[in-house]
Structure formats: structure tokens, C-alpha cells
């Protein structure tokens, strides 16, 4: 697989321009959808993370205080 940096950068530029041209209501709807996906992923991950007894010393995994 080869990567054409110029093509990638042009694609990103075009995507940003399309996003910028959207009405604010549509941007807010996209933000709501992203939040909903984030919450769904967090709900899926949380039981797995909190149910584990071994955290290998990483307080962020158990949700414990890092102080």
C-alpha cells in the first residue's frame, strides 16, 4: 500500500471545507451523534474494566484515585 501525502492532504482540506460550509444545526446534530456513540462505547467498556481485579498498577483502569 502506498501513501500519496499530497492526495491525503487535499482530501483533508476538502473535508474541512465541506464541514465548514454546513449549517450550525447540522454540525450540532453531528456532535450529538458523536456523543451518543461515545457513551455507547463507554458503557460497553466500563463493565470489562471495572470487573477486572488486576490493573497492573494503572489507576486509570480501575477508576481509582491516582494520588
Residue 56 lies in a domain: no
Residue 36 lies in a domain: yes
pLDDT at 45: 87
Residue 5 lies in a domain: no
Q: How many Å apart are CA 7 and CA 28, to the nearest integer?
A: 29
pLDDT at 50: 53
Contact partners, residue 50, CB within 8 Å, separation at least 6: 62, 63
Quote the domain boundaries for residue 30: 23-47
pLDDT at 46: 80
Q: Is 62 exposed, middle or buried (0-12, 13-18, 19+ CB in 10 A)?
A: middle
Residue 42 lies in a domain: yes
Single pTM value for the model: 0.53
Residue 17 lies in a domain: no
The structural domain count of the chain equals 1
Q: What is the tens place of the pLDDT at every residue in 8-59?
A: 999 999 999 999 999 999 999 999 999 999 999 999 888 665 555 555 555 5
Amino acid at each position: 500500500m502506498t501513501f500519496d501525502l499530497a492526495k491525503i492532504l487535499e482530501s483533508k482540506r476538502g473535508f474541512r471545507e465541506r464541514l465548514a460550509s454546513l449549517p450550525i444545526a447540522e454540525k450540532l446534530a453531528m456532535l450529538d451523534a458523536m456523543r451518543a456513540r461515545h457513551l455507547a462505547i463507554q458503557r460497553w467498556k466500563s463493565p470489562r474494566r471495572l470487573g477486572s481485579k488486576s490493573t497492573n498498577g494503572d489507576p486509570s483502569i480501575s477508576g481509582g484515585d491516582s494520588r
